[in-house]
Amino acid sequence: MTIVKHELRQGRISFLIWTASIGLLLSICVFLFPEMKGEMEGVNDLFSSMGSFTSAFGMDRLNFGTLTGYYAVECGNVLGLGGAFYAALCAVSMLSKEEKDRTAEFLLTHPISRFRIITEKLIAILIQITAMNLVIYACSLGAMTAIGEEIPWNALHLLHGAYYLLQIELAGICFGLSAFMRKGSVGIGLGIAVLVYFLNLIANIAEVADFLKYITPFGYCEGADILTNGCLDGVKIAIGAAICLAGIAAAYLKYANKDIQ
């Protein structure tokens, strides 16, 4: 597991910065809830009259006067975008950076198969994403306990579980792309994360584009749908898992036969 340890050491600063930033923002959002709770009735009326904007974020189906409704929108956006950006950045240069940093020759001269290299790098990505989500989950629980609110365990598990799956899917897609690139591109990773986010907004606004929810991982992370149904959409998750596995499979097939320069 030498490569895993190396990747974890190399990515520790990025991990700490992203984890601390997302965890802090989530905690601040939760701490603000008691101050805003009494004003939420007016906020609900305001949002209900904002048309497409309200539909885009599912705010027309959520009650901001409850911790679950407030958390699904305010904290959901922080966790969704922040987690998506980190997962994409973590994976998009994982395989290509060896050529970019001119370390490929050193790595490939060791008695290690390319299959093992890919596998250990993938494990490193999964460890970082999982660790980040565990820390963030603990921050949310701590903040809710601190403000004295009853913790909505089921809703919290579903929301955090959905965003964890979203991050894994994006990581799988970007990991596959990294095998085809010779220079790591942060822009591509961020671009994919932003693209799938806006595809979900379009699907929420226009009924004719509802099929996009089956393409973007944000489709099964919609807080309004999760809280209304009390469960995740198995079909959308299955499609997302297939896309993720396809990206990982592409990484193995391409990198195993790639002419490393």
Q: Is residue 261 part of a domain?
A: no
Q: Any residues with CB less than 8 A from the CB of 147 and at least 6 apart, and which?
A: 30, 31, 33, 34
Q: Is residue 61 part of a domain?
A: yes
Q: Is residue 210 part of a domain?
A: yes
Q: Give the number of domains in the chain.
A: 1
Q: Is residue 62 part of a domain?
A: yes
Q: Is residue 76 part of a domain?
A: yes
In a structure prediction context, what are the per-residue pLDDT tens digits for the chain, which is 261 residues long? 788 888 899 889 999 999 999 999 999 989 988 877 766 655 555 555 555 555 555 566 667 778 888 888 888 888 999 999 999 999 988 877 766 655 555 555 566 787 888 899 999 999 999 999 999 999 999 999 998 888 889 999 999 999 999 999 999 999 999 888 877 677 888 899 999 988 888 887 877 888 888 999 998 988 888 888 888 999 999 999 999 999 999 999 988 777 665
Q: Is residue 88 part of a domain?
A: yes
Domain hosting residue 199, numbered range: 2-256
Q: Is residue 11 part of a domain?
A: yes
* Residue 109, burial from CB neighbour count under 10 angstroms (0-12, 13-18, 19+): exposed
Burial code (b: 16+ CB inside 10 Å, e: under 16) for 123-136 equals ebbbebbeebbebb
